[in-house]
Structure 1
Amino acid sequence: MGAGEEALKALENALVEAWNDLPDRLFEQCADSMPYRVQAVIDAKGWHTKY
C-alpha cells in the first residue's frame, strides 16, 4: 500500500469515526424539522430559505 493509499484509508477511517460519533438525537431532530423545511421551500417557491 502506497503513501496515497494509506492517507486515503486514514481519511476513510476518520470519516467513519466522526460519523459514528454523531448523536442519534441529531438525526431525529433533522427528521422532525423536515416538514418545516419543506414548507419553507414551498413558500420560497424553490428559492433560498434559512435552512
Structure 2
Amino acid sequence: MHTASALSRNLKRPWLKDLELIGNRELSLSNQDKVENALSALSAVLKKPS
C-alpha cells in the first residue's frame, strides 16, 4: 500500500505535503478506500508522458 507519506518521501515534491495532510485526515475518518483511489489516480497522472 502506498501512503501519501511514502509518495511525499519518494517524489520530494512540496505540494505532496498537502496531499499527505488530506490523506491522513481521510484515513482517520476510515475512508481508506477513498484515499487509495485518489492515490491511484494521482499515480496514473504522474506516470503519463507530458
* TM-score > 0.5, shorter chain as reference: no
TM bin (shorter chain): 0.3 to 0.5
Q: What is the TM-score of this pair, normalised by structure 2?
A: 0.37
User: Normalized against structure 1, the TM-score is what?
Assistant: 0.36
